Amino acid sequence: MTKTLRLIFPQWQGGNNPNYVFGSLLLGHIVPPGDKAETIQIMIDEDTSQELSIENGVIGGDGLLKQMSEATKVLVEKAPDKVITLGGDCSISQAPFDYLHRKYPDSLGILWLDAHSDMSTINDSQKGHMHVLGNLLGQGAPQFAEKVCHPFKVEQVMLAGLKYEELRPCDHQVNDLKMNYLTPDKLVDDSRLIIDWITQNQFKHLAIHFDLDVLSPQDYRSINPGKPYLEIEKFPAPVGAMTLEQITRIMKDVSEQTEIVGFSIGEHLPWDAINLRKALESVEIFRD
């Protein structure tokens, strides 16, 4: 019998954004429950009042390493066949994808649905969520990359929805490593190019990283650039251009070609719920 483990992983230090905690917990209620999956919440440092220090070249690095180690421990003890991870910032994918690569060493590919590369080094950025895919490739932040016991090869990864024309200097490894990538315009009408990549590499299993920031804030508002009253043109990073309908089509199409054994969702920022919660916290009756 196939064993599925659902990790609720409200890790926030990788993006240095405490709002990711609530976003992760809310995802636990939004995502369809499934009939047989076991759910475990990874314990994190919930003290968001203190400014994070830089450790190992990464903001909040020690806490991140501790939490990733805890996630790895849970995965090894539970030994699931499939892992669903509900974050949290994008660094939540490191432990489960590394675990799955050990379980499926010769047949696993990664589909990284993201407007950004997540392949920066500590010389480019000190935020852990910007290193995670680099870590999984044995690059990224050294103290984190060395924790990856089963690194992936470039050909095992497809960046889909990447805003390649807006790459920043911190994204240089996309070109340095000659990564496979597909821009949003290549995925508007069909998933053929992703299917071709799966077929050519004979991937029997697939791990999907779904950064909600791959979506356009005009289509889906619960993301960083979807913050109320934000002027999009002033957002300091490339803004996603895909629709939820397109992403759903891709998921369905790839599931007909290979078995999805890993699925991470990151960067969930439900602004209306976050703002309502903060507003109510200021009212005395809700503090009793």
- Which CATH number belongs to the domain containing residue 194 in this structure? 3.40.800.10
- Structure confidence at residue 288 (pLDDT): 78
Residue-range definition of the domain harbouring residue 254: 4-287
Over the stretch 148-207, which tens digit does the pLDDT of each residue have?
999 999 999 999 999 999 999 999 999 999 999 999 999 999 999 999 999 999 999 999
Number of domains in the chain: 1
- Residue whose pair of structure tokens reads 């920066």 in the numeric block: 120
- Residue whose pair of structure tokens reads 């503090």 in the numeric block: 287
> What are residue 264's DSSP bridge partners?
85, 209
Tokens standing for residue 118: 């997540």
Q: Write the burial class of residue 227 (CB in 10 Å: 0-12 exposed, 13-18 middle, 19+ buried).
A: middle
Over the stretch 72-113, which tens digit does the pLDDT of each residue have?
999 999 999 999 999 999 999 999 999 999 999 999 999 999
CB atoms within 10 A of CB 237: 15
Q: Helices 94-103 and 61-78 meet at what angle, rounded to 10? A: 30
- Residue whose pair of structure tokens reads 């002027």 in the numeric block: 231
Over the stretch 8-50, which tens digit does the pLDDT of each residue have?
999 999 999 999 999 999 999 999 988 889 999 999 998 888 8
* Cβ atoms of 217 and 232 closer than 8 Å: yes
